[in-house]
Amino acid sequence: MGETHGLETDATWQAVLTGTQPMLRRGRGLFVRLPGDARCKLCAAPFGGPAGPVMRLVGKGRWAKNPKYCRSCFAFLTEHGGGAEVECSLLFADVRGSTSMAEDMRPSQVHELMDRFFRTAARVLVEHDAIVDRFVGDQTIGIFIPALAAGEHATRAVHAAEALLVATGHGGVPWIPVGAGVHTGVAFVGCVGSEAHVDFTALGDAVNVAARLASAAGTGEVLLTLDAARAAELNPAGLEQRDLALKGRSAPVTVLALRPGAAPPGDA
């Protein structure tokens, strides 16, 4: 019985992540059009704003034990534990020099600046159909899965990285220094943890690569792996190519350096 249930769960996750079960895509397509900043991490239903009371009436209010999710999505995660391996695109964005920057600021000023960055990043990621994975320290993470991107998850990840740099002032005078990394590969996507501590995330080597790229990116720069560039049909002409020695990897990783406004995806 347990083995059969596991197979059914895997099939459910494959359907959700790849879009053959269109409930998540249809729901997010509706909810992202409704105004509101704080949203369910999975379905993007707004918790506040004009639509907030309606969402609560239809079971989309915050889940009391984990306010990052609505009640409906959290029930799905706890009922369908696990996940599935799927090709996806990962976007990591780091604030550059946050430690030294904090030395010259009051703690309340650091909080205000980082809160502005996280709100900006969440808005950009949702606008580009990402699942906002989490905010960690000075870093934000977005997962782009096939179900939400109509097969264009890499393109949307690259566009989101560029849009985030533009939104933080790069190309002019940035109000916060940010670098980003984008990688496309196979990851385990689903929920981890148990009961009130369950979370939706991505795990695996593809995630680690994207994280290392963000750490290596300069201010106002997006570093893309060749896998992400090919999947996004990015024209590499005029882009700087580098071979990076990333921590934990035995061989150098070839990347392209992209800055806002340079060689947009789809021009191949």
Residue type, 199: D
The residue with tokens 């899965």 is 145
| pLDDT tens column, 29-73 | 889 889 887 888 888 899 999 999 999 999 999 987 677 889 888
* pLDDT score for 9: 65
Min mean pLDDT across 4-8, 22-26, 164-168 is at 4-8
* Position with higher pLDDT, 129 vs 222: 222
pLDDT (mean) for 82-111: 88
Residue type, 221: E
Q: Which of 180, 238, 185 is nearest to 207 (CA)?
A: 185
* pLDDT score for 263: 47
* pLDDT score for 231: 95
State the average pLDDT for the chain: 86
| pLDDT tens column, 191-205 | 887 766 778 899 999
Q: What is the 3-state secondary structure (H, E, C) of the chain?
A: CHHHHHHHHHHHHHHHHHCCCCHHHHHHHHHCCCCCCCECCCCCCECCCCCHHHHHHCCCCEECCEEEEEHHHHHHHHHCCEEEEEEEEEEEEEECCHHHHHHCCCHHHHHHHHHHHHHHHHHHHHHCCCEEEEEECCEEEEEECHHHHCCCHHHHHHHHHHHHHHHCCECECCCCCEEEEEEEEEEEEEEECCHHHCEEEEECHHHHHHHHHHHHCCCCCEEEEHHHHHHCCCCCCCCEEEEECCCCCCCCEEEEEECCCCCCCCCC
Domain extents in the chain: 2-80, 83-258
* pLDDT score for 180: 97
Q: Compute the distance between CA of residue 260 and CA of residue 161 in angstroms, rounded to an integer.
A: 9
Residue 115 has pLDDT above 60, yes or no: yes
Identity of the highest mean pLDDT range in 138-147, 168-177, 217-226: 217-226
| The two three-digit tokens of residue 190, written as one number | 């689903």
* pLDDT score for 268: 40
Superfamily of domain 83-258: Nucleotide cyclase, GGDEF domain (3.30.70.1230)
pLDDT (mean) for 66-91: 87
Determine contact, residues 161/180, Cβ cutoff 8 Å: yes
pLDDT (mean) for 80-100: 89
- Number of other CB atoms surrounding residue 172 within 10 Å: 9
Min mean pLDDT across 16-25, 112-121, 174-183 is at 16-25
Name all contacts of 140-145 with Cβ < 8 Å and 24+ positions apart: 140/92, 140/93, 141/90, 141/91, 141/92, 141/93, 141/211, 142/90, 142/91, 143/88, 143/89, 143/90, 143/189, 143/201, 143/202, 144/88, 144/89, 144/90, 144/91, 145/17, 145/18, 145/86, 145/88, 145/189
pTM of the model: 0.85
Query: pLDDT band at residue 6, thresholds of 50, 70 and 90?
Result: low
Q: Compute the distance between CA of residue 73 and CA of residue 226 in angstroms, rounded to an integer.
A: 34
* Position with higher pLDDT, 10 vs 235: 235
Residue 248 sits at φ, ψ, to 5 deg, of 90, 0
* Position with higher pLDDT, 50 vs 262: 50
Please count the residues of the chain: 268
